[in-house]
Amino acid sequence: MTDVEALKKEAGIAACKYVSSGMKVGLGTGSTVKYTVLELGRMIAEENLEIVGVPTSLATEELALQVGIPLVKLSEIDGLDIVIDGADEYDPNFQLIKGGGAALLREKIVAQESKAMIVVADDRKRVSALGAFPLPIEITPFAHQSTIRALGRVLDCRVNCRMAGDNPVITDNGNMIADAHCGPTLHQPKETEQRILNIAGVVQVGLFNDMCDVVVLAGSNGVETFVNPNGRIP
């Protein structure tokens, strides 16, 4: 295991301190949060932790079942106590870009239904302004090239359809992903989110605004925890 991977594991495990028995927990997607899922499985098996989980992707669902986390459907319960998820970028105001794993729609639905959001990430994801990471936007397959052209006009940047080899990436919801190469220019992410959502072919955008309460960050100083002063966790 590389030093970066070891720190990601440590961060993923550290986030579990926010989980206690009786909770309904959103289970995120990504290379760091997978360690959170593994640790929660261990806590269930060895420490009698009693939780139910809602996965944000089919990959997370498979991993959660493998490690023994009981799962429920979000539509069957009245909200979640917490969600633990990754991020592709986060800025000084705790606004996020997510969707590098093409699970942004489910991730956002789960985040909106949660009383608190914990983000686990490595320090490469901390930025002064969002947008160096291409902004993922989930779009409908119907007339997707028209939607991509409209996105390019609205954002004034290059927008491309995410590909897997010769074929478009298809999300768990049967949609496509457009990536907007804005550069680190998204200083007003809430306004940008609304402009994008006004385009008819857009399903959802990977800007997670006013959702993140805590970031558990793995970096050169080890694992550090940053609490959003305007968040829901004291």
Q: Which of 39, 61, 89, 107 is catalytic?
A: 107
The reported pTM is 0.95
How many angstroms separate the CA atoms of 147 and 141, rounded?
A: 9
Q: pLDDT confidence of 219, banded at 50, 70, 90?
A: confident
Residue pLDDT, tens place only, 160-218? 999 999 999 999 999 999 999 999 999 999 999 999 999 999 999 999 999 999 999 99
pLDDT single digits (tens) 96-117: 999 999 999 999 999 999 999 9
Q: Which amino acid is at 172?
A: D
Q: What angle do the packed helices 58-66 and 33-47 form, to 10 degrees?
A: 30
Query: Rounded to 5, what percent of the chain is helix, strand, coil?
Result: 30, 30, 40
Domains 3-126+209-227 and 135-205 share a fold: no
How high is the pLDDT of residue 187? 97
Residues, the chain: 234
Domain locations along the chain: 3-126+209-227, 135-205
Architecture of domain 3-126+209-227: 3-Layer(aba) Sandwich (3.40)
Mean pLDDT across 119-123: 93
Distance CA 37, CA 59 (A): 11
pLDDT band at 140 (very low <50, low <70, confident <90, very high): very high
Given a contact cutoff of 8 angstroms between Cβ atoms, the answer to whether 29 and 84 are in contact is no
Is 107 a known active-site residue?
yes
* Residue 2 pLDDT > 90: no
CATH topology for 135-205?
Alpha-Beta Plaits (3.30.70)
Q: Helix 189-197 to helix 144-155 angle, to the nearest 10 degrees?
A: 150
Dump pLDDT digits (tens) for 52-78.
Answer: 999 999 999 999 999 999 999 999 999
pLDDT of 4 over the 90 cut: no
